[in-house]
Copies of this chain bind each other. A is one copy, B any other.
């Protein structure tokens, strides 16, 4: 199957939209606010499983436990359990045991082995996760599982996210129809401690674990790893994928492009949702870089721009400040040719051939006053390396949210 033969249609729902998946979100008392704080996602049969984890060297217990589970099961799982309100990070051997109990309990209720459950946590760091509350929560969530449970699960993994992130797509192919659904939570400080990004994607296509892992890695790179709120990377970040084959559609190695496209259509809106809901964010900023020596260099420059406080504050103030963009390209550690570099804001070219067009500033500023902003840069090397990233503006509210006194 080539991507050209395929129809993709966005549909309602999320992780429980694909056949054979049920989900639930419950309140088990971990969040002080008594809100939903535990999500359970279960497949009616053993599914292929894949994951991408934080590169932070201070890895939280659930990250270590989920890695071990995937190793032991050979990339298979039936259940994913995620709690919010407590990150179970920097919690020593007891925290590891609690994460193992989480996997045990989720596996047990789902009728699977402990190694066939994946776990994740987000919330306060350095605080013990209440083992009893979690166990009771998983049992309660199991009773609530349904194919309409996706929205509750999406809410239960939220921390300070201003809205839940859900997406699903139905893919019609000559060989049949399958679905992909997903939920995510963003970089929001929790009570207020640690920014964590979590994502779960499910599909009822049949995909071997290795292929699923390959596709998830590719897709994460251009979606969840192409966003930045503040350049921080947490101890708990992870993205999980499950493929249970319930649709009867079998995707083989040659269908990698199709699988990547289908996962991207779910992960990209989830990733963009995270940025849109970033702390203090008032604008979604799409950064497109071209003219890099390689794609990797273009991405490095895009990331430098996405994390530049001077760029992010200028955009917040609707200031078409091409000088800051030129300076960040120059310091990004990649090949850069000032004389051939270009800066466009929206469709307005503000700098090219080594000289500015300040007479267009008002027009560019008008673009920046919107909530969806495009910054288009050319590194001027003549190479065809390109990259895209999404970020948000930096507002005084970001500082307010993160400077609040915790103790």
Contact = CB atoms under 8 A, between A and B. Distances in A.
Interface of A: 55-59, 89-92, 124-126, 189, 193-195, 230-235, 308-310, 313-314, 316-324, 326-331, 336, 338, 341, 351, 354-356, 358, 361-362, 365, 394-396, 398-400, 402-407
Given A309-B231, A309-B309, A396-B396, A402 B331 contact: no
Given A327-B56, A356-B90, A404 B319 contact: yes
Contact of A55 (B194, B314, B326, B331): B331
25 contacts: A55-B331, A56-B327, A57-B329, A58-B326, A58-B331, A58-B341, A90-B323, A126-B351, A126-B356, A126-B358, A189-B310, A195-B310, A231-B309, A232-B328, A235-B330, A309-B398, A309-B402, A314-B402, A314-B403, A317-B404, A317-B405, A320-B407, A358-B407, A362-B407, A396-B396
B57 A310 contact: no
Nearest to A313: B402
A193 B405 contact: no
Contacts of A328: 232
A129 to B, nearest CB: 14
Nearest to A310: B232
A125 B327 contact: yes
A220 B128 CA distance: 45
A393 to B, nearest CB: 8
Nearest to A354: B92
Contacts of A394: 309, 399, 403
A326 B193 CA distance: 12
- Most central of A309, A400, A404, A406 by chain B CB within 10 Å: A309
A399 B403 contact: no
Given A57-B331, A354-B90, A230 B407 contact: no
Contact of A126 (B317, B323, B396, B404): B323
A58 B316 contact: no
A313 B398 contact: yes
A309 B395 contact: no
B317 A403 contact: yes
A227 to B, nearest CB: 15
B309 A230 contact: yes
A140 to B, nearest CB: 29
Given A57-B336, A230-B310, A318-B405, A323 B89 contact: yes
Contacts of A56: 327, 330-331
Contacts of A406: 314, 319, 321, 361
